[in-house]
Chains A and B, each alone.
Chain A
């Protein structure tokens, strides 16, 4: 138990420290790196409480894909030079908004967690019977694809819609660009690719069409 608590405090101190560094560090890229560190330590905490599937999924999805894209965007937009001076120096307009949002989140968490702790039969909307003997990957699979299949598929469709929306918003159809058509390239034959043209005097031929 001693080792367990040592590791727990180790990971949670890293998680809290890096969460603070995300909002206070001066360069944006460093913020994203601290965010990654935060995700990793949260994943480790998940593994420590026995939810190894969720922990690894956090690593794969958030660290392996989402944070890479974050980093990508932050580096490409070149906002790394922008100095954040939220806590030091001149007054900032971000703090009131941040405070309001965080107070709301705190109250929500208070209601949900407090209700879950003290009034379980009021807050809980599920009546799952968890079998302790099977691994939690199987447990999640059994619940997600049977009782909650509708919610699962709806969330999938929402993700698909947002993806299509993003593509529609950013897609621009451009003419006048040369595109490689693989089908045309492969289906070229000797007979159709070479053509003998009779060149008229003082007119030439029109190629490249």
Chain B
């Protein structure tokens, strides 16, 4: 009986985390298209609901009523599994994101590694979808994304090491609390820039959206998908983008902490701050999508392996030596 209580309590908490995330994914798609429209001097979606806010809901409704077409020569099980994997992985990672001092679903002491592991598993949805479609364009898209995501994970991992050197703990709450005096974006600003660009590549956003480059690959790994299965890929992708924004705001922008701990700022509740930071990072994502042309594939690989990797490694050495020389290494006992 005791277990049942815990179980129901957890499900209740998970429900109140997942529903806001799904709603905000819908709104974030609207924001993305709106920003994109304004940059190009268009209006963007503005018809359905106030300011067009319900556009995504209308789209989702349309997807639900469309027929799901499964190609005859596809590997059916893996074909159906792929969007489910993408969507699930994008949602489970939110379990460790702290929205406040004690406002976190599961406060595990390897939170950042968990986030990193889940985001590195995200490649499977794409590979499975691309291979199971049994068609040329999806397969090419899948192969591209496999190489791309594996290479940019390396630099994200090293950037995380940089932050961890300053924190001395893998727990996300500890990472945020370590930024009480100064957000890591200031001492580690180059790492923040590289993290942002790597996050663009990791989530297949423009200018690195080569797995679904419509000029070359129709729609990449999503070519054969239709109806709700396509919508799940799409929702999973945006949930992943939000997750990367959340990760960036926790690692560099001080999570739920206000910019300065004085009166008008510190009465605002902590979830508002982290949501504001996530929105700010997402706004940057949207602007980048609108103003930057797509990279060529060899340039993408060169950027990842020949520029970001050596530079972030060098910065690890710099950070470590700085902290060691000035005797600032975190030596918290656990």
Q: Which stretch of A59-67, A119-127, A190-198 is in the interface?
A: A59-67
Question: Which A residues touch B127, using CB under 8 A?
Answer: 68, 71-72, 75
Question: Which A residues touch B142, using CB under 8 A?
Answer: 75
Q: Which stretch of B107-115, B190-198, B242-250, B254-262 is in the interface?
A: B107-115
CA distance A131 to B150 in the complex (A): 36
Given A65-B120, A137-B170, do A52 and B143 touch, yes or no (CB 8 Å)? no
Say yes or no for A86: interface residue by CB 8 A criterion.
Answer: no
Given A33-B78, A68-B150, A71-B127, do A59 and B121 touch, yes or no (CB 8 Å)? yes
Partner of A135, one of B109, B114, B131, B143: B109
Interface residues on A, range: 20 to 34
B197 to chain A, nearest CB (A): 17
Most buried by A among B121, B139, B150: B121
Say yes or no for A97: interface residue by CB 8 A criterion.
Answer: no
Q: Assess the B113–A68 pair: CB atoms within 8 A.
A: no
CA distance A33 to B153 in the complex (A): 21
CA distance A169 to B216 in the complex (A): 32
Binary per-residue interface labels of chain B (126-147) against chain A in the complex, 1 for a CB within 8 Å, 0 otherwise? 0110010000000100110011
Question: Which A residues touch B298, using CB under 8 A?
Answer: 180
Question: Which B residues touch A138, using CB under 8 A?
Answer: 334
Say yes or no for A29: interface residue by CB 8 A criterion.
Answer: yes
B325 to chain A, nearest CB (A): 19
Given A65-B153, A68-B146, A137-B170, do A52 and B109 touch, yes or no (CB 8 Å)? yes
Q: Assess the B117–A59 pair: CB atoms within 8 A.
A: yes
Given A53-B110, A64-B117, A68-B123, do A134 and B334 touch, yes or no (CB 8 Å)? yes
B52 to chain A, nearest CB (A): 38
Binary per-residue interface labels of chain A (70-106) against chain B in the complex, 1 for a CB within 8 Å, 0 otherwise? 0110011000000000000000000000000000000
CA distance A76 to B170 in the complex (A): 37
Q: Assess the A56–B131 pair: CB atoms within 8 A.
A: no
Tell me the interface secondary structure of chain B in the complex: helix
Q: Assess the A134–B120 pair: CB atoms within 8 A.
A: no
Q: Assess the A60–B120 pair: CB atoms within 8 A.
A: yes
Chain A residue nearest to B333 in the complex (CB): A134
CA distance A29 to B133 in the complex (A): 14
A66 to chain B, nearest CB (A): 10
Chain B residue nearest to A71 in the complex (CB): B127
Partner of A75, one of B110, B116, B139, B147: B139
CA distance A63 to B96 in the complex (A): 20
CA distance A75 to B142 in the complex (A): 10
Partner of A64, one of B131, B153, B170: B153
Chain B residue nearest to A53 in the complex (CB): B110
Chain A residue nearest to B116 in the complex (CB): A60
A58 to chain B, nearest CB (A): 9
A7 to chain B, nearest CB (A): 12
CA distance A29 to B75 in the complex (A): 11
Q: Assess the B117–A60 pair: CB atoms within 8 A.
A: yes
Say yes or no for A201: interface residue by CB 8 A criterion.
Answer: no
Question: Which A residues touch B65, using CB under 8 A?
Answer: none
Q: Assess the A63–B143 pair: CB atoms within 8 A.
A: no
Q: Assess the A56–B114 pair: CB atoms within 8 A.
A: yes
Question: Which A residues touch B131, using CB under 8 A?
Answer: 29, 71, 75
Say yes or no for B63: interface residue by CB 8 A criterion.
Answer: no
Question: Which A residues touch B234, using CB under 8 A?
Answer: none
Say yes or no for A48: interface residue by CB 8 A criterion.
Answer: no
Say yes or no for B124: interface residue by CB 8 A criterion.
Answer: yes
Q: Assess the B143–A75 pair: CB atoms within 8 A.
A: yes
A sample of 22 cross-chain residue pairs with beta-carbon separation below 8 angstroms, ordered by A number, consists of A36-B124, A52-B109, A56-B117, A59-B117, A60-B113, A60-B116, A60-B117, A64-B123, A64-B150, A65-B150, A68-B146, A69-B150, A71-B131, A72-B127, A72-B146, A75-B127, A75-B143, A76-B143, A133-B334, A134-B333, A134-B334, A135-B334
Q: Which 10 A-B pairs have the closest CB atoms?
A: A64-B120, A59-B117, A56-B113, A134-B334, A60-B117, A135-B334, A135-B109, A56-B117, A52-B110, A72-B146
Q: Which residues of A contact B (CB under 8 A)?
A: 3, 29, 33, 36, 52-53, 56-57, 59-60, 63-65, 68-69, 71-72, 75-76, 133-135, 137-138, 180
Q: Which residues of B contact A (CB under 8 A)?
A: 3, 75, 78, 108-110, 113-114, 116-117, 120-121, 123-124, 127-128, 131, 139, 142-143, 146-147, 150, 153, 170, 298, 333-334
